[in-house]
């Protein structure tokens, strides 16, 4: 029995003395993995390196690649080019030839924005000339001019243009229409001519069946004056008759009905401002 216990103690002591080999083997394995990882990380893809350096060289435009020891903008902190010219400070106050930061931030208007500005200038001039003409000729109660979102609106009273229930232009309206025609020539915009009436039906002996025909005929008479007499381009015009469907005032009073009997000429805005 004692011999067996001694034998067991001896075998147990031998096993405990050999345990360090396991730890040592684990350490060697970890070191091997560590060095393998370091080697893998230190491997350089030559093709990718050339692509990166070439790209940077093209970006900085400083002669050679800054990674290959060329005279790039980071070399020596000077930022000189091949010609040896002195660098220009980015914080220039504008006293030299270099552009300032404020100039860089200023953007020229787009083609559409420029066209919009030119259109608005023409419309403003048009409104100014017509307003002056109306004032100089004491036509303030016959011709009304307004700047509306859709364009410059020129409203002519039916008393100024036509006899009651008729669509033939009065000769007294010719000078004003000629003035408008001269302004419309070359305006570069679509001109809409709209006829309107009050809600009183046409008389029994009228050549027109109803207010629709009367309003359309009156708009057409004004259009034909611009085309046949003034020789303007038909492609720049459109016309319509709306009868009493778009009143400008209340049809229950004589004054309101008078305001509703009109021909509206609108020089339409073709463009809108960019947001």
Domains of the chain, residue spans: 2-104, 112-268
Render pLDDT for 85-143 as a digit per residue (tens, 0 to 9).
444 444 444 444 444 444 445 667 788 788 888 888 888 998 999 999 999 999 999 99
- Res 257: pLDDT: 95
Enter the tokens of residue 205.
């002996």
Roughly what angle, to the nearest 10 degrees, separates helices 111-136 and 174-184?
A: 160
For residue 255, give the DSSP letter. Answer: H
- What is the spatial distance between Cα 203 and Cα 185, in angstroms, rounded to a whole number? 37
SS (H, E, C) 50-96: HHHHHHHHHHHCCCCCCCCCCCCCCHHHCCCCCCCCCCCCCCCCCCC
Torsions phi, psi of 184, nearest 5? -75, -25
Does pLDDT of 80 surpass 70? no
- What is the spatial distance between Cα 159 and Cα 162, in angstroms, rounded to a whole number? 6
> Which CATH code for domain 112-268?
3.30.1330.60
Picking from 34-48, 67-81, 157-171, 234-248, which range would have the lowest pLDDT averaged per residue?
Answer: 67-81
217-227 burial: b if 16+ Cβ within 10 Å, else e: bbbbbbbebbe
% of residues, the chain, pLDDT over 90:
49
The answer for 274, left when phi > 0, alpha when psi is -120 to 50, beta otherwise, is beta
Render pLDDT for 181-231 as a digit per residue (tens, 0 to 9).
999 988 889 999 999 999 999 998 899 999 999 999 999 999 999 999 999
Instruction: List the one residue out of 246, 262, 120 whose CA is nearest residue 193.
Output: 262
Q: Are 200 and 210 in contact (CB under 8 A)?
A: no
């Amino acid at each position: 029995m004692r011999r067996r216990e001694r034998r067991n103690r001896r075998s147990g002591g031998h096993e405990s003395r050999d345990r360090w080999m396991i730890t040592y083997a684990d350490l060697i394995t970890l070191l091997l993995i560590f060095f393998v990882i370091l080697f893998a990380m230190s491997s350089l893809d030559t093709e990718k390196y050339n692509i990166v350096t070439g790209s940077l060289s093209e970006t900085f435009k400083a002669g050679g690649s800054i990674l290959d020891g060329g005279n790039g903008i980071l070399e020596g902190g000077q930022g000189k080019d091949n010609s040896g010219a002195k660098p220009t400070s980015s914080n220039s106050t504008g006293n030299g030839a270099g552009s300032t930061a404020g100039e860089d931030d200023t953007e020229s208007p787009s083609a559409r924005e420029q066209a919009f500005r030119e259109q608005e200038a023409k419309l403003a001039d048009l409104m100014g000339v017509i307003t002056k003409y109306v004032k100089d000729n004491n036509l303030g109660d016959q011709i009304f001019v307004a700047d509306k979102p859709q364009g410059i609106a020129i409203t002519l009273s039916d008393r100024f243009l036509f006899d009651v229930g008729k669509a033939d232009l009065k000769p007294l309206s010719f000078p004003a229409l000629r003035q408008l025609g001269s302004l419309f020539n070359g305006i570069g915009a679509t001109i809409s001519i709209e006829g309107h009436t009050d809600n009183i039906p046409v008389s029994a002996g009228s050549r027109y069946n109803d207010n629709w025909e009367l309003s359309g005929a009156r708009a057409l008479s004004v259009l034909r004056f611009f085309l046949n007499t003034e020789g303007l381009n038909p492609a720049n015009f459109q016309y319509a008759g709306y009868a009493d469907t778009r009143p400008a005032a209340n049809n229950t009073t004589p004054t309101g009905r008078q305001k509703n009997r009109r021909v509206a000429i609108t020089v339409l805005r073709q463009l809108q401002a960019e947001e």
